[in-house]
Chain A
Amino acid sequence: MNSGHFFLAIIKRDLLLAWQQRGDLLVGVVFFILVACLFPLAIGPEPKLLARIGPGVLWVAVILANLLALPRLFASDWQDGSLEQLLLTAAPTSVMVAGKIIAHWLTTGIPLTLIAPLLGIQYGLESDTLLMLMASLLLGTPTLSALGSIGAALTIGVRQGEMLLALLILPLYAPVLIFGSGAVAAVAGGLSGMAELSLLAAILCGTLFLAPWLAAIAVRLAVE
């Protein structure tokens, strides 16, 4: 089996596993909706204010929902020993990690991106702003999955790994959050937002290049 086939097989396997436990997937989406609903309760339902904070709140909620789903990336495979088996295959570990990142993005990033416009409407965002929200999430969420895979791999089987994961990963998420919500806020303010979008794309390219390799080192460490 060559690396390409292995890559696709990993994606297929993880998607299948995710489908068998689709309740877990729903938890992330419900969490996202709940966080987004708490803000109007806490701050007050004034439409102007909600339209202003909407992009930032939705982006933060996406990041938190993503963080919630990260431990799933390796933990269950590590617990039942299949991670070890995956490392024994001839294909490079980074290919395996890349496949898992893609599967993770398809199962968390994509649902969140699809649900975000609905919440955006509730926050009173205009249609072009909603479009930019989706575009920025489409470019930003794969970066979150890729960066997150490094953190998830580093904390496999570590004491209080999930708390630690938040401490490790949230500072690294900051640039994505800044440019992602910045793009949406720019459109809401009448600018084009393309500059922020390009920066998001650049970050995505850099992360996709480096993350599988670094996460592979971390995965091998955890299993050795």
Chain B
Amino acid sequence: MLEKALTGGKIYWGWLSLLLVLMAVGGLCYWQQLTQGLTITGMSRDVSWGFYIAQFTFLVGVAASAVMLVIPKYLHHYQKFGKILILGEFNAVAMVILCLLFIVADLGSPQRLMNVILHPTPNSILFWDMVVLNGYLFINILVGWVTLQAERKEVAPPNWIKFFIYLSIPWAVSIHTVTAFLYAGLPGRGYWLTAVLAARFLASAFAAGPAFLILVTYIAKIFTKFDPGKDVLAVLGKTVVYAMSVNIFLFLCEVFTVTYSQIPSHMAHLQYLFFGYHGHGVLVPWMWTAMIMGLSGILILLVPKNRKSDNMLIIGCILVFIGAWIDKGLGMIGGGFVPNPLHEVTEYVPTALELGVSLGIYATGFLVLTVMYKVAIGVKQEVEA
């Protein structure tokens, strides 16, 4: 099937070349990091995780969202999702690859990466994160490939694959839960020390992930003749708006607990994020933007008519997606570290080189995504023809 990736028009090859160039740029930036160390980043003694770990945290969510297709299709037999299920699974594969790349990029001593396996440490949540991420990658490659092959041969997928399909549901929940546990179990970090963190992560994932899928499907629709049908995307849009509402609700629960209890070590982080703390507040405009985008995304998508209109659906999804990205990709990690345990404020802003590395990683993920989508859509069209 892979040969489908080798034929394509000018736009396809142009896009791939662009990605390759970006990957090369990222590679050069990463070379700097390898030789000089993480000193090329904006991270510090106080903010010891930055953009890389934040991207990983966000993308785990986008990966987990594949279950938002698997559940309706396999548990509720909503057959229309069959058309884009494969896109969800391949999307998960690309996103988990991105997560793993971001984790490796963040390591100070990547040459010792294997120590995590050589000295397995089950009391470390990071160990479990490695296990569930790699497991999820494997499950989605397997399921995606086998079902696509069956589709090509126009036969039903083998029965044994059902086991992995059902397994992928709790597994998707696990990847984001375990990622939340990385943060939610740390003493002395008030912003993260909350039991709703895993729930919040899942809610924002089930909003941002399907929103991303809708947008990518529209892109695929523009460049190929692939069309999953309007209702499918409108139904997915409903998932986006409900999940985002739950996300905001959980966030407000957090705000209530923190502000009504008035515990300073928990309040300081919210203060820093939304109003600035002791005169520091690089994230303040971002956080308000995220809030406004998230809320207006909800307002738009809540109206059934809007979900049926291509343009409104696209705008709503863009708003929700960017809102969730700012919240997790910038605020969650930065806000957790500031102020530091000694109430000092050291702010964090990613450097150009750090963003360069991230750009290269994103390009790699999109390359994987493009190639897999090319294959999947190619097969679908071959079958239809």
A binds B: no
Please give the residue numbers on chain B whose beta carbons come within 8 Å of chain A beta carbons, in ascending order: none
Interface residues in chain A, defined as those with a beta carbon under 8 Å from any beta carbon in chain B = none
